[in-house]
Amino acid sequence: MICAVVYAVIFVVVYVVCVIIHVISHVIGGFLSPILNEYSSMQAFIFSFLYPTLHK
């Protein structure tokens, strides 16, 4: 009986933590997505620029 309660509490805590992380990541993602998009496109550009020079 106690085990079931412990499992339920752990499940609820994990679920709440996941929801909080999800919300925070959405909020941060809303702010950072333009920066991250720019960074990833820049990274892709740098990679496409460096890849041929590395594999000569």
| Dist. CA 34–CA 3, nearest whole Å | 46
Rg (C-alpha) for the chain, rounded Å, is 21
Q: Does the pLDDT value for residue 2 go beyond 80?
A: yes
pTM over 0.85: no
Distance of CA 40 to the CA centre of its chain: 14
Of the listed ranges 2-6, 8-12, 23-27, the least confidently predicted one is 23-27
Tell me: pLDDT of 54 over 90: no
Alpha-carbon distances, residue 29 vs 7, 18, 21, 44, 46 (angstroms): 32, 16, 11, 20, 23
- Given a cut of 70, whether residue 28 has pLDDT beyond it is yes
> CB-side exposure of 10: number of CA atoms within 13 Å?
6
Tokens of 14: 């994990």
Please report the pLDDT score of residue 34 as a whole number.
76
